Amino acid sequence: MIPLFKENLEDDSLHTLEKRMIRALALHREMKKLLEAEYAAGQKFDSRELNKLILRKNNCVNRFKHLVGSILDQLKRMAGRKLPRTCPRTLANRVRAIPGLTPDFEATLLPLARELEEENRLLIQATRRNMVMLKGAINRFWAVSQYTHQGETL
């Protein structure tokens, strides 16, 4: 017979946090691939491929937003104390604030947290690069449309 309640709830929630962090890393990698493909399609002015990639990216962003929200909610539930105001609000510091964090879990979760933060920084840089490229393309299209519609009144 399977018990209704888990005997070691702390370990179970730490395993769940680890799984969510690993899923977030996988989504980071998928987003990087999509951003690279979006950049390549934008350089070629392939609007059909760009539309497909934007839809896939929006789906991935929604999944990522839900996953990050669930990680933060779980960290809030597990936190025994609030971080001091002088402590940076990094994911690694939030993981360290979990009461009863064993050295085994600390050795597993802290590198994951640091890797997630680094992947997030790289994702932000790639997104900014794509935004600059797409704004430049939109400005060029606008200039071409102004040139082709000279003298026409709307």
User: Is residue 32 within 8 Å of 53, Cβ to Cβ?
Assistant: no
- Cβ-based burial of 133 (10 A; exposed 0-12, middle 13-18, buried ≥19): middle
User: Is residue 53 within 8 Å of 126, Cβ to Cβ?
Assistant: no
The residues, any chain, with a CB within 8 Å of residue 148's CB and separated by 6 or more, are none
pTM over 0.85: no
Backbone angles phi, psi at 6, to 5 degrees: -75, 140
The mean pLDDT of the chain is: 83
Whole-angstrom Cα distance, residue 2 to residue 94? 33
Residue 92 has pLDDT above 90, yes or no: no
Lowest mean pLDDT among 5-9, 30-34, 123-127: 5-9
Question: For tokens 């600390």, what's the residue?
Answer: 106
Tokens standing for residue 93: 């510091």
Q: CA end-to-end span of the chain, whole Å?
A: 75
Lowest mean pLDDT among 14-23, 24-33, 88-97, 142-151: 142-151
- For residue 3, the model assigns a pLDDT of 55
- For residue 2, the model assigns a pLDDT of 60
